[in-house]
Structure 1
Amino acid sequence: MSLDTPHLQPTDRCDSLLSVLSGADSLAVVCHNNPDPDSISSALALAAIAESADVSRTDLYYGGEITHQQNRAMVNLLDVDLRPFTDECLDSTDLIGFVDHAVPGQNNCVPDERVPDIVIDHHPNEGVEGTHVDHREHVGATASMLTEYLQELDVELDARLATALLFGIRRETLEFTRGATEAEYTNARRLHPHADVDLLRRLSDSLFTHETLDSIADTIQNRTVRGSHLVSHAGRTTERDTLPQAADYLLNLEGVSTTFVFGIIDETVHLSARTRNPRIHAGDLLMTAFDDMGSVGGHQAMAGGEIPLGLFGTLDDRDDALVELVSEVLTERFFQETSCNS
């Protein structure tokens, strides 16, 4: 039976989580695809909680790739043992935990029919199932939620874990400028005395690769602006994590309050949207514009999704024609929807 805990007291949430962990020998913590610092740090925190509950083995898994320079730096500098997900990894574990995502098959590689035992997430979603479900959309970062568990359960907060969680909160909220709530400020204050500030600075100052810079340059060049709304694309790219970075960067353009950036990676079109307009909900905007084409959704200020490239037909690998078609369809759909909301 699913236990949804958004309105429970911290003690009740902790009791619920511990009851699931009790007696288990192993836990597989699954991050979402292409995991970011919020998901990675939350996975480390859940592993620490499991260890304190006498779970003998906890393994951390992810789907997709780790390409963003700060995400790679986090895994390397904090020595995070994060392993590529395979279907077989779930066959040898007692429990499955999701952090920073909630539904099997959505932004993860877990089979649709496999219901997780633990779900801790802050993203908008429906149909969330599990034995322990802590699903709080009003919180700005999953790392905030895990920090509360550590505090309530009195789990040791060493410098590595505190640094990871503080970095996760800071990145998820763009240094407390996007979607930050009282929980983020409170938990950042809890974490800061334990964190390695020098390491935190190294993580924050991770360098762009040449490929990332080139991809962002493409989105600058390809931008189209109508009113306060901007659409751009990176064409065919291997730099998936460039898309949200570009959406954030282009939001600084004078007169622009909403950005929508996309790029073609292999056989999928990846989408990213950002807004500073309080009258626009980025997640709802993408849902209305593209839900019939793929998997999309998100928060008030940020959203994303994926659309199968096959929907646009076969163009005999003529990349220029394919990029032009994708750009035309997605750009017009987005601007049509924003004009309806104006």
Structure 2
Amino acid sequence: MSSAFLGLLDIIKGAEKVYIQPHNMPDPDAIASSFALCELLKKFNIEAKIIYMNVIEKVNSKKMVEMFNINMVVKENSFLSSPNDFVILIDSQAGNSNITSIRGKKVAVIDHHHDMGDQNYVFKDIQEQVGACATIITSYYKDLNIEPSTDVATALLYGIMSDTNNLTRSSEQGDLDNFYWLYGLSNLTKIKKLRMNEIGREDIYAYAKALETFEIYGNIGFVHIENCNDSLLGTISDMVYTIEGTSIVVSYAKRPDGIKFSVRSGEKYIYADELVKHILKDKGVGGGHKEMAGGFIAQEEMYFLQNKELDTYVRYRTIGFVEEKTNRR
């Protein structure tokens, strides 16, 4: 990979500007990966700017930006790049619903999600088997025999911890190897501070509401929350996932612009990404990993519900999918 990455460097050197773009609402893994890549490029005298198109919602994500003094710039949807600029997509891919693509001819991608196919990238490193994008960026440092700074190592370590749920979710040997390499280079006091800032005070009310609406059918937990942001919805799914007897979670929030879904699965034959796509049918977009996925149905596509209850629809689609998969075993 180091030779391929050096090839990427040769291409970048001809760019007028280099932009590193994580998905629209960067989480710790996306922030850590963007920050570490930016710092790695500096070692080759390449200055890059980290840009994103929406908001940083998670409390720990905001804390990371502050703690490591990461320069991330918000760009509006109207932002345009020059044809000679270079855009590197991090933790997402062109065409995904969670990223607003910058119009540019030279686009690279570094991601660990399902490969969405050829997008005419000038550089492509998609490793679906790893649990975090931070694992891929860490490999670049190791392959190039470059030791990251303490802040970079700490950010990458936390990125891996966050996206793999402390190495218990969708992780493989590469995640473990890079985790332990980074562990010896990191500031564990900062890791503890980040762990102490994972839930905002205002989020407590949403947690309380989630527990009020929580229902369980067999091993499937359902949570319906009104107007909850994406990051908090995912955090609530993780919380419900720890409830005794719950191995599949479907959380959803109805908002003015549509319905957002967050899915978790610990069942061997029930993949979260397949489940969310089944729930959305052909009315929305969704995807992710075997154990963790998300999706969205836009408001203008919600007409298909007509007079159906949203809760009834979600349960019907979910339970039907799980029973079908279970009966096939």
Query: TM-score under structure 2 normalisation?
Result: 0.91
Give me the whole-angstrom Cα distance separating, in 2, the residues matched to 1:314 and 1:273: 21
Give me the whole-angstrom Cα distance separating, in 2, the residues matched to 1:94 and 1:154: 28
Identity %: 23
Could you say if the C-alpha distance between residues 30 and 116 of structure 1 is closer, same or farther in structure 2, counting changes exceeding 3 Å?
A: farther
Equivalent residue runs for 1:44-83 within 5 Å: 44-55=35-46, 57-83=47-73
Cα RMSD for the two superposed structures:
2.3
Match of residue 125, structure 2, among 103, 114, 134 = 134
- SS of the equivalent of 1:88 reads coil
Whether 1:208 aligns to 2:192 is no
Paired position in structure 2 for 1:30: 21
Q: Mark the runs of 5 or more structure 2 residues left unpaired by the alignment.
A: none
Give me the whole-angstrom Cα distance separating, in 2, the residues matched to 1:202 and 1:131: 39
Match of residue 330, structure 1, among 314, 319, 323 = 314
Give me the whole-angstrom Cα distance separating, in 2, the residues matched to 1:293 and 1:221: 28
Per-residue deviation, residues 159-192 of structure 1 (Å, max 9, x unmatched): 1111110000000111111111111111112212
**Equivalent pair of 2:83/2:105 in contact (CA under 8 Å):** no
Match of residue 175, structure 1, among 152, 161, 166 = 166
**Equivalent pair of 2:21/2:52 in contact (CA under 8 Å):** yes
Paired position in structure 1 for 2:226: 235
Q: Mark the runs of 5 or more structure 1 residues left unpaired by the alignment.
A: 1-9, 316-320
Equivalent residue runs for 1:123-272 within 5 Å: 123-129=113-119, 130-206=121-197, 208-237=199-228, 239-272=229-262
- SS of the equivalent of 2:125 reads strand
Paired position in structure 2 for 1:7: none
Give me the whole-angstrom Cα distance separating, in 2, the residues matched to 1:23 and 1:155: 23
Displacement of 1:307: 1.1
- SS of the equivalent of 1:168 reads helix
Give me the whole-angstrom Cα distance separating, in 2, the residues matched to 1:194 and 1:166: 9
Give me the whole-angstrom Cα distance separating, in 2, the residues matched to 1:204 and 1:213: 16
Aligned residues: 324
Could you say if the C-alpha distance between residues 286 and 314 of structure 1 is closer, same or farther in structure 2, counting changes exceeding 3 Å?
A: closer
Match of residue 299, structure 2, among 309, 319, 330 = 309
Give me the whole-angstrom Cα distance separating, in 2, the residues matched to 1:203 and 1:41: 13
Give me the whole-angstrom Cα distance separating, in 2, the residues matched to 1:199 and 1:139: 24
Give me the whole-angstrom Cα distance separating, in 2, the residues matched to 1:74 and 1:93: 31
Give me the whole-angstrom Cα distance separating, in 2, the residues matched to 1:221 and 1:336: 25
Query: TM-score under structure 1 normalisation?
Result: 0.88
Could you say if the C-alpha distance between residues 37 and 158 of structure 1 is closer, same or farther in structure 2, counting changes exceeding 3 Å?
A: same
Displacement of 1:118: 1.4
